[in-house]
Amino acid sequence: MWDKIKAAAQHPAVQLIKKICGDPVQLYIILLMTSVMYYYHPAMNWLYTLLAVFISLVLMKFYDFVARHKYIGPLCFLVFLGLGLGMVSFIADYGRLQYPIGFLVWFMTPQGVVDFSIWYTIAIYLLMMGFLSSAVYYFAKVRYRMVMQFLLMLIPMSLYAKEGIQMPALFVILLLSSYFLLMVYCKQLRETPDVRRIHSLHGSMSVTAYVLSFSILAAVVPKPTIIADREYIENAMAFSDLSDVLMDMISMFTDSTDNSAMMSANGRTVYYASSPETLRLRTQNYTYYLENDSWNKTNYYDYPSIEYTEAEFYQPRALLQAILDAASADAQFAESYGLTAFAGTVLPEQEEKELFLLTNVSGTNMIPTPTRIGNLESNRWQNTMVSEHGALTPKKFTYEFREGLDLTYYSDTYARYEKVRAVLCSIRPESYEALLQDAKEILAKNDTESAKLLSHCLEEYHDAQEYLSYCMEQDYRSEVVDTLAAEITAGKTSDYEKAKAIEVYFTENDFVYDMKYQKGKDDNIDDFLTESKTGVCYEYATAMVLLCRSAGLPARYAQGYSLSEQYNDTVDGFPVTHYIKLKDAHGFPEVYISGYGWLSFEPTVAGQEEYESDTAENFYVMLWGLGLLGLSIVAVIIYLLLPTMREKYFLRKTAHLHPQQAAPVIFRHMRTALRLTDSGTVMELAGNSEKFTVSADRMQLFYQQLDSLLYDPQEHAERSVHTTDVQTLQLLDAYRLWQTERKAYEREQKRIRRAEKRKKK
């Protein structure tokens, strides 16, 4: 069997494959590069892997040349190093012309935060290929250091870890398998009385069986689901201060955003919060949606423009109650605007809730806040800025945010109160401006504070309508969005009813939340609404904003965080109820509602927990392992049955041969079984068989007959056919007896060796 395998191994196709990627050192390099590039550009990973095969082949030849030449080799390597770094620098500089941040910042920043750059990716590929290939070669063939090889294997794993995402389990298994294969391939054993180096195909088969067994066990054995707080190690890997500098640099170019900002799984804590409820906190607003499925800022509406003053932030209940007070004071006003049924109504109190924030990022330039801010202790922040529509937006501060920030807010859940909802559903948007103007004039005589509030709300209404007009002129317009918005809001008369109908549309129409879903290159919100119906919060918030605008509602895209994980902890002496982590990044819509003002909504449907997707991946890896196990079992069965099958085939085929033809075939078969050379004679065969021969007399006749057929063929040339058949059968019977006695002897020898080993122990 080994002869056949050796012969197959010499086939030109097998030799070509072995030449291209048969070196375990090269295989280890290829798998390292595959794992690295899957992190940076998974869609084209097959191409990067194919290139790694041929590039590593060339580099291995080059490194062989460097290793063989004591002086010229290192010189050539230095030239290669200089040219490689120069090429990487050139490509990175070219990419810088088309990308707003430098290569080093892009490289050190989690990919979920920055956009994809083809030039930076090529630079990373070349840089990693040069470094990993040279390091693996050196510590495998020049200086045998398997500890260093293990550290090199941690490089791709650290890339995934810094972003808090899980490295595909199949990559982990293949990397570990190739590591073990490399360890055996580069072994430096010295022969001793107790250690014997194997230089044959049997050694390769043993290594293959070991690596294969490890891969199968690693894939098939169920992996436990571990839910743990990885913040400590993630903070350590993020190199805290450096990471803060990078994030500050990134914040300088975030004039646009897409769903990549919502795809981070990094568990690093950026803020601590103490809040009485789950909240949506916003850090930035974006106004202008582009056809390429991204949001952009505009100078007038999104950048900070005025200093914070408490007068800019009002209680929504105060607005709505002022309108009802005007209805109570003037029956004609109530009748004109359909508020007669609410005259004299006292709305439930709207509590001004307290929120405490503490940053975990030094020198932060973002203040996450709820939509409806109440009171902010602005004296603790110098020159705090807000946008035209009341959002605290990025600005550099001189104060280190370690004493915490106290503010109050009005919960968006107030709009869901039955009495409040009933009033909001009664206010008609087409007459809302006149309603505010008339209510202000009615209350100006007896309630100047309410009249002043209504005046401010009237200005806010004008700003919101101007904002909507600007968006409808500059924004991406879609027939899909316009048609769907008209269908959803058909029969709805108030702003609140329209917004709620759009919010629940996604829950009621089989939309799916999936962080692992890969959108097409040219997909935008039209594809999300009509084709895939799959995405993350970015897609849902974007869709609701555009649908609301199409339905005549001022709406804006807000980006920030969602307070989800609850804790009972103390940080720097402050009680903390929520850790706000990078993975809590969230996008949501804010809609201007007549009678309430700006109100946040949550159209994103509930998604599966992360561990469920991990379980799904483990399931597919397990299927891969089971398939490999099945193939291995089939291979083992064939391996075990092959000798018996070959023997039966040999006997059947030989039984139909002439004795002169059968004799050399049987002799060659016996000689191979005893591992004799091709020049061996029948007498040498008989001598090597004496140790296990039991039927000596019969075997002696067999050897004589075999010798006669091989070396005196003329004596048997004139025999009849019948006699020929009988003689061949006699040869085969003797051969069977010889094989039986040989196998019995080998079994006995194995038993003796095992007994001797037990005695030594």
Residue 211 lies inside a defined structural domain of this protein: no
For residue 260, count other CB atoms closer than 10 A to its CB: 17
Confidence of residue 678 (pLDDT cuts 50, 70, 90): confident
321 and 329 Cβ atoms separated by less than 8 Å: no
Q: Tell me what pLDDT residue 420 has.
A: 92
SS3 of 442-472: HHCCCCHHHHHHHHHHHHHHHHHHHHHHHHH
Q: What is the pLDDT of residue 381?
A: 47
Interval 110-120 mean pLDDT: 75
The two tokens of residue 267 are 């568990």
Dihedral of alpha carbons 262, 263, 269, 275, sign: positive
Instruction: Assign 3-class secondary structure to 164-230.
Output: CCCCCHHHHHHHHHHHHHHHHHCCCCCCECCECCCCCHHHHHHHHHHHHHHHHHHHHCCCCCCCCCC
Torsion of CA 484, 486, 492, 498, to 10 degrees: 50
Q: CA triplet 407, 266, 232: central angle to 5 degrees?
A: 85
Q: Tell me, yes or no, whether 228 lies in a domain.
A: no
pLDDT per position as a tens digit, 351-369: 888 888 888 765 555 678 8
Angle of helix 696-711 relative to helix 721-760, nearest 10 degrees, comes to: 130
Q: What's the mean pLDDT in 716-730?
A: 62
Kindly state whether residues 78 and 158 are assigned to the same domain: yes
Per-residue pLDDT tens for 513-533? Answer: 887 777 777 788 888 888 888
Q: Please indicate, yes or no, if residue 163 is contained in any of the structural domains.
A: yes
Of the three residues 187, 208, 224, the one that is the final residue of a domain is 187
How much is the mean pLDDT over the chain?
78
Mutual angle of helices 24-40 and 12-21, in 10-degree steps: 60
Which runs of consecutive H residues, i.e. helices, occur in 69-110? Answer: 72-96, 103-108
Task: Tell whether 375 and 256 lie within a shared domain.
Answer: yes
Question: Does 283 lie in the same domain as 163?
Answer: no
pLDDT 10s digits, 607-638: 654 444 455 556 666 676 677 677 778 877 88
Judge whether 575 lies within some domain. yes
Cα(526)–Cα(481) distance, rounded to whole angstroms? 7
260 and 375 together in one domain: yes
What is the per-residue pLDDT for 269? 79
Q: Is 486 part of any domain?
A: yes
Please tell me the distance from the alpha carbon of residue 9 to that of residue 6, in angstroms, as a whole number.
Answer: 5
pLDDT of residue 716: 53
Residue 305 confidence (pLDDT): 43
> Of 94, 181, 87, nearest to 127 (Cα)?
87
Q: What share of the chain is helix, strand, coil (3-state, %, to 5)?
A: 60, 10, 30
Contact 295, 257 (CB under 8 A): yes
The predicted model scores a pTM of 0.61
| Structure confidence at residue 553 as a pLDDT band (50, 70, 90) | very high
Do 678 and 740 have their domain in common?
Answer: yes
Reported confidence tier of residue 214, pLDDT bands at 50, 70, 90: low
Over pLDDT 90: what percentage of the chain? 19
**Could you report the per-residue pLDDT of 183-198, keeping only the tens digit for each?**
777 765 455 555 555 5
Environment class of 6 (CB within 10 Å of its CB; exposed 0-12, middle 13-18, buried 19+): exposed
249 and 318, same domain (yes or no): yes
Do 329 and 469 sit in the same domain of this protein? yes
Residue 115 pLDDT > 80: no
Q: Does 254 lie in the same domain as 165?
A: no
Is the distance from CB of 279 to CB of 175 less than 8 angstroms? no
- What is the total count of domains within the chain? 3
Residue 301 has pLDDT above 70, yes or no: no
Q: What is the pLDDT of residue 253?
A: 46
Last residue of one domain, picked from the residues 572, 601, 630: 601
Residue 203: pLDDT over 90: no
Average pLDDT over residues 469-495: 88
* 630 domain-assigned: no
Residue 717 pLDDT exceeds 80: no
Cβ contact 500:491 at 8 Å:
no
- Convert the pLDDT of each residue in 724-760 to its tens digit: 567 888 888 888 899 888 889 888 998 988 888 888 7
DSSP state of 269: E
Residue 316, H or E segment:
helix 316-329
**For the chain, give me the number of helices (H) and strands (E)?**
27, 17
Partner residues linked to 80 by β-bridges: none
- Please check whether residues 285 and 351 belong to one and the same domain: yes
Residues 703 and 586 in one domain: no
Same domain for 519 and 371: yes
579, 601, 623: which is the final residue of a domain? 601
On whether residue 357 sits in a domain, the answer given is: yes
Say which residue the tokens 């997707």 belong to.
Answer: 613
How would DSSP label each residue in 584-604?
Answer: GEEEEEEEEETTTEEEE---P
The 10 Å CB-count burial string (b at 16+, else e) for 173-186 is bbbbbbbbbbbbbb
The four Cα atoms 440, 442, 446, 448 give a dihedral, to 10 degrees, of: 10
Ordered strands of the 294-296 beta sheet: 256-257, 294-296, 288-290
Same domain, 353 and 479: yes
Structural domain containing residue 90: 19-187
Mean pLDDT, to the nearest integer, of 210-221? 64
Residue 677 lies in a domain: yes
529 in helix, strand or coil?
Answer: helix
